[in-house]
Amino acid sequence: MKFSKPSLDIFASAADIPIEFLENSGGSELWCKRLMWKKTLWKMTAFSAALIGLVVLFGSLYSFKAYRARTAAGPTGTGPAATPIAAVVARSGPLPEYLEAIGSLKAVRQVVIAPEVGGMVKAIHFESGGTVSAGAPILQINDGPDRGDLERYQGQLWYAEREFDRSQRLIAATAVSKSEADATKSRVVEARGQIARTEAVIAQKKLCAPFAGVLGIRQVDQGQYLQPGQPVVSLTDLDALYVNFTLPEQSLPRLNTGQSIEVLVDAFPGQPFPAVVSTIEPQVYAESRTVPVQGTLDNRDHVLRPGMFASVRVVLPSGPDVVTVPETSLDRTIAGDSVFVVRAKGKGQVAERVPVKAGRRVGGRVAIAAGVKAGDLVVSSGQVNLAPGSPVSVTDAGTPPVGKELASKGSQP
């Protein structure tokens, strides 16, 4: 059996090469030693390269940590730099409470003007979107034939009245019978009835505004024939609106007419419109166990429109004063709620994590039942980079109010 030269790789050193291998391979001992030396030199080179790589890696890590330490050091280089934060002062005050619902706006007075009788449109006295006063003419239907009938009936009345007067004089002289006198009287009454009926038809053909308001889009044209009840234009009184909504039956003990309401609409986000509870339905809907409620709001500036979707808050009496902080200050974890409070330490300030007991939330603020007292400076932004005892620098401080401005925002239990 002969061995090939590559089989030298199975020996660790030249001393391990057997004589039979040297004889059968045709090589000398010197040749084998040279090959083994090359193999050993390659292994040493690979080991040296790996060692150099490790040294470079650890050196880079050390340099990076040193750089981080230098950049984290303060201006004097003696400690970590202060983390910039925003903070507000926790304040004590009444926290508004609401009954919340969704509803829609409805006009107090809104009609679609339409004729009671048919006829040809003779004249249009309005423009689409115009404002009209009560009694203002809107549209005129042709009443020429009716006015002709009116004159005819008026002539018949004149003649009937003369006949009746003569019959009364003749009956006194027994020249006519009482039945003939009664017939002349009936003709007078009939003529008066025809006149009244014709005048009513003429009045029906003149459409007028039943109340002051804003007109909608015109739906007819001059010369068009109108059927009875065919829409001409809508008329809406925008000076006052209703807001209709429902509340759970559990809300009834806390609900009364005259209570203040705040109405919010999507068209004006964050802007509440004041209203009052005007009507509470006397019965509860059995299907939904809710009670319909209607509020009235002043809209003399015509900002709101009927049909708008509305978020409704019925304002309840405020409870006792509570300490509140911004919702952004609250850190909620599996271990519980906490906030960072800024404390003075030496010549600087540090942030301390304080466990708290959170309560109701209203308008971006949360009530704190325990853990924070009024006057504490609470971190409201930037706490993601903080750890207990971290030096801080307050770059933005403020104290959002608890009362009136909070009432303009939403609440949640």
Tell me the pLDDT tens digit for each residue of 343-393: 877 777 777 787 877 777 777 777 777 877 787 787 777 777 777 777 777
Distances (CA, A) of 409 to 89, 108, 291, 382, 388: 20, 27, 24, 24, 33
Answer positive or negative: Cα dihedral of 269, 360, 332, 92.
positive
The Cα 70–Cα 190 span in angstroms is 113
Higher pLDDT: 280 or 178? It is 280
Q: What phi and psi, each to the nearest 5 degrees, are found at residue 381?
A: -155, 140
The Cα 231–Cα 233 span in angstroms is 6
Higher pLDDT: 188 or 397? It is 188
The pLDDT mean for the chain works out to: 80
The confidence score (pLDDT) of residue 95 equals 76
The Cα 320–Cα 318 span in angstroms is 7
Report how far Cα 277 is from the mean position of its chain's Cα atoms: 21
Question: Identity (one letter) of the amino acid at 84?
Answer: P
The confidence score (pLDDT) of residue 412 equals 40
Q: What share of the chain is helix, strand, coil (3-state, %, to 5)?
A: 30, 35, 30
Answer positive or negative: Cα dihedral of 34, 40, 46, 51.
negative
* Residue 34, SS3 per DSSP: helix
Higher pLDDT: 52 or 319? It is 52
The confidence score (pLDDT) of residue 48 equals 75
Q: Tell me which residue of 394, 411, 251, 223 sits closest to 324, measured CA to CA.
A: 411
Q: Check whether 276 has a pLDDT greater than 80.
A: yes
Please state the length of the chain: 413
Mean pLDDT value across residues 161-176: 75
Tokens of 159: 């003649």
* Maximum alpha-carbon separation in the chain: 181
Higher pLDDT: 260 or 409? It is 260
Higher pLDDT: 370 or 145? It is 145
Q: Confirm if 288 and 246 have CB atoms less than 8 A apart.
A: yes
Q: Check whether 12 has a pLDDT greater than 60.
A: no
Higher pLDDT: 102 or 412? It is 102
The confidence score (pLDDT) of residue 111 equals 96
Higher pLDDT: 331 or 22? It is 331
The Cα 87–Cα 380 span in angstroms is 5
The confidence score (pLDDT) of residue 163 equals 84
Q: Check whether 27 has a pLDDT greater than 60.
A: no
The confidence score (pLDDT) of residue 20 equals 53
**Residue 341 pairs with which residues in a beta bridge?**
352, 378
Tell me: the pLDDT tens digits for 298-328?
999 999 999 999 999 998 887 777 777 777 7
**Residue 188 pairs with which residues in a beta bridge?**
none
The confidence score (pLDDT) of residue 68 equals 54
The confidence score (pLDDT) of residue 380 equals 76
Higher pLDDT: 144 or 94? It is 144
The confidence score (pLDDT) of residue 359 equals 72
Q: Tell me the pLDDT band of 408, cut-offs 50, 70 and 90.
A: very low
Tell me: the pLDDT tens digits for 213-265?
999 999 999 999 999 999 999 999 999 999 999 999 999 998 999 999 999 99
Q: Tell me the pLDDT band of 401, cut-offs 50, 70 and 90.
A: very low
